Amino acid sequence: MLTKSHFLRFLECSCQLWLIKQRPDLLPEIDAALQRIFDEGNKVDVFAKNLFPNGVEISGFNETGARNTKAAIESGAKVLFQPTFGKDGLTCRCDILVKRGKGWDILEVKSSTSVHKDHIFDLAFQRICLEGAGLTIGKTFLVHINNQYVKDGEIDPHQILTSEDITKQVMDALPMARKEITKAKKTLALTEEAGLELLKSCSSPGSCEFLPLYIGEIPHETIYSIAPALPPKRLKAFLERGLIKPKQMPTDILESLGDVVLPKKSTKSVVEIDKEGIKSELGELTYPLYFLDYETSFPAIPVFDGYRPYQQMTFQYSVHILRTPKGKLEQKEYIHETFTDPAKAIADALVKDVGPVGSVIVWNQRFEASRNEELGEMVPKHAKALRSMNERMFDLMQIVMGGLYIDSRFDGSASLKKVLPVMVPELSYSDLVIQEGGTASASWAILTDPSTPKKQKEALKRDMLAYCERDTLAMVELYRKFLEAAE
């Protein structure tokens, strides 16, 4: 059976559908950042049921879900949550189905803040599946987040959620959806050998989730052995994305493509330093220097008054302080440990730790400056101090972004996680339990959950503090490296 989710993956790239069926072991593990997206989506799905207090929840999946759906409709239910339908090789589970007159309206719930192209084909698939199962379908709606909504007391589901009628767009997409469904069914039926041939036509190797397939081995063949059969443009796409290593490619194939397609990478890094430019930028800084970093949470459904959907909620910071060029490095930190609005406590601690004079150094100024503006609005008594921090803020990332320090090993990125291992290899995140921001953000809900055991909270707090501290220490060491490079 072709599911709705698999159909949408097929539309992204036909290879993905076959691989999901044949080689699910090649799918990457779900990281904390992606899991947070899934979790927020699930929360919005559950919350959307408040739009219809008398709705009937349909239990079960596949055949069981379809039987329970049929029974609910026959019993006279007018609003169904998670009904399942299947017919002619298609199966789907709708979010909400509402009986209006002689037909049924389909409501698809998304945690996005607007309508996207894939949402239209999502609903087109559902309409085709349900009509094939014998239902009369009226309108199709996308229910999504209203990001202008501000929480003030109990959340009104009719205000935070927007039901957008996209029936016309869905109807217009039906002919193409039917054609693609036919193609997707054929792809599902492919043998292993035929599926391997399909991989040669991969339309998006650079964004494919099955990267192990392109940098390792697949049954009976490797990507290197089928490379000669790839069209030159497709092979070039693999090369440029680093999915095939030139040294593992036959020389004659590389020569036939021309030198222009070869990556300019080598084991020796290319470094370009604008010493005068760096001196000029860093010469504007005023001691003491405050190296500042925030950690935030941004739920789709706001949990505290005054917040909008997805608004960043600062719950932690670290600041390293260098009061004189050769002074002793100090570190201050704060983490909000209770499930309450952290704004006031964060602002109180921050204005105490960051003095009224001295440069505030960050990595990606737009993020920290925006958090300060929001904190100033929420805690007016500290608005002036927070505004002062923004006026004294210096974005260390601009040394890289502005081309003042270029190293080919950055791979064209100015990310702290890319720059630090190259410039300060002895300082990394590999020894930490939490190694990236997505995990740090997702951890706050666990830390502040009353049901989390005390020992787990203590360990999690240590890990969260260590990660944020490493971010600001990294900036200190990079600052020192930039100074050395300029001299």
What is the rounded CA–CA span in Å between residue 300 and residue 184?
A: 33
What is the rounded CA–CA span in Å between residue 399 and residue 329?
A: 22
b/e sequence 270-280, b meaning 16+ C-beta within 10 Å: eeeebeeebee
CATH 3.40.50 fits 275-486, yes or no: no
What is the rounded CA–CA span in Å between residue 268 and residue 392?
A: 38
| DSSP-derived 3-state class of residue 399 | helix
Task: Please name the residues in contact with 367: beta carbons below 8 A apart, sequence gap of 6 or more.
Answer: 294
Using only C-alpha atoms, the chain has a radius of gyration, in whole angstroms, of 27
What is the rounded CA–CA span in Å between residue 126 and residue 396?
A: 49
| DSSP-derived 3-state class of residue 111 | coil
- Predicted local distance difference test score (pLDDT) of residue 410: 85
The string of DSSP letters for 82-102 reads S-EEEETTEEEE-SEEEEETT
Q: Which amino acid is at 147?
A: N
The tokens for 141 are 């709606």
Task: Please name the residues in contact with 317: beta carbons below 8 A apart, sequence gap of 6 or more.
Answer: 292, 293, 294, 295, 333, 334, 346, 349, 350, 468
The tokens for 27 are 């799918």
What is the rounded CA–CA span in Å between residue 156 and residue 19?
A: 42
What is the rounded CA–CA span in Å between residue 223 and residue 18?
A: 16
Which candidate, 478, 484, 476, places its Cα nearest to that of 425?
A: 478
Residue 468 C-beta-side C-alpha neighbours within 13 Å: 27
What is the rounded CA–CA span in Å between residue 263 and residue 415?
A: 21
- Beta strands in 261-420, from DSSP E residues, in sequence order: 271-273, 289-297, 313-322, 330-335, 360-362, 393-395, 405-407
- Predicted local distance difference test score (pLDDT) of residue 438: 87
Written as tens digits, the pLDDT of the chain (487 aa) is 899 999 998 898 777 787 787 777 666 677 777 787 888 889 999 999 999 999 999 999 889 999 999 999 999 999 999 999 999 999 999 999 999 999 999 999 999 999 999 999 999 999 999 999 999 999 999 999 999 999 999 999 999 999 999 999 999 999 999 999 999 998 888 876 666 666 655 655 555 555 445 444 444 444 444 455 555 665 666 666 555 556 555 555 566 665 434 444 444 678 899 999 999 999 999 999 999 999 999 999 999 999 999 999 999 999 999 999 999 999 999 999 999 999 999 999 999 999 999 999 999 999 999 999 999 999 999 999 999 999 999 999 999 999 999 998 887 788 898 899 999 999 989 899 998 888 899 999 999 999 999 999 999 999 999 999 999 999 999 999 999 999 8
Which candidate, 275, 318, 260, places its Cα nearest to that of 294?
A: 318
- Predicted local distance difference test score (pLDDT) of residue 14: 76
Residue 260 C-beta-side C-alpha neighbours within 13 Å: 4
Give the single-character DSSP code of 291: E
Q: Where are the domains of the chain?
A: 2-188, 210-261, 275-486
The tokens for 453 are 């055991």
Q: How many residues comprise the chain? A: 487
CATH 3.90.320 fits 2-188, yes or no: yes
In DSSP terms, 458 is beta-bridged to none
Tally helices (H) and strands (E) across the chain: 20, 18
- Predicted local distance difference test score (pLDDT) of residue 430: 87
How do 405-407 and 330-335 pair as beta strands? unpaired
The tokens for 314 are 């600062």
CA distances from 103 to 78, 88, 207, 387 (A): 11, 21, 40, 56
CA distances from 457 to 444, 464, 471, 483 (A): 10, 10, 21, 39
Which candidate, 160, 89, 165, places its Cα nearest to that of 123?
A: 165
- Predicted local distance difference test score (pLDDT) of residue 263: 41
Q: CB atoms < 10 A from the CB of 126, how many?
A: 24
| DSSP-derived 3-state class of residue 307 | coil
CA dihedral sign of residues 182, 188, 193, 196: positive
The string of DSSP letters for 140-177 reads EEEEEE-TT----SS--HHHHEEEEE-HHHHHHHHHHH
Residues 159/146, Cβ–Cβ less than 8 Å:
yes
What is the rounded CA–CA span in Å between residue 163 and residue 100?
A: 15
What is the rounded CA–CA span in Å between residue 150 and residue 131?
A: 39
Phi and psi angles of residue 344, each rounded to the nearest 5 degrees, phi first = -65, -45
What is the rounded CA–CA span in Å between residue 337 and residue 339?
A: 7
- Predicted local distance difference test score (pLDDT) of residue 411: 75
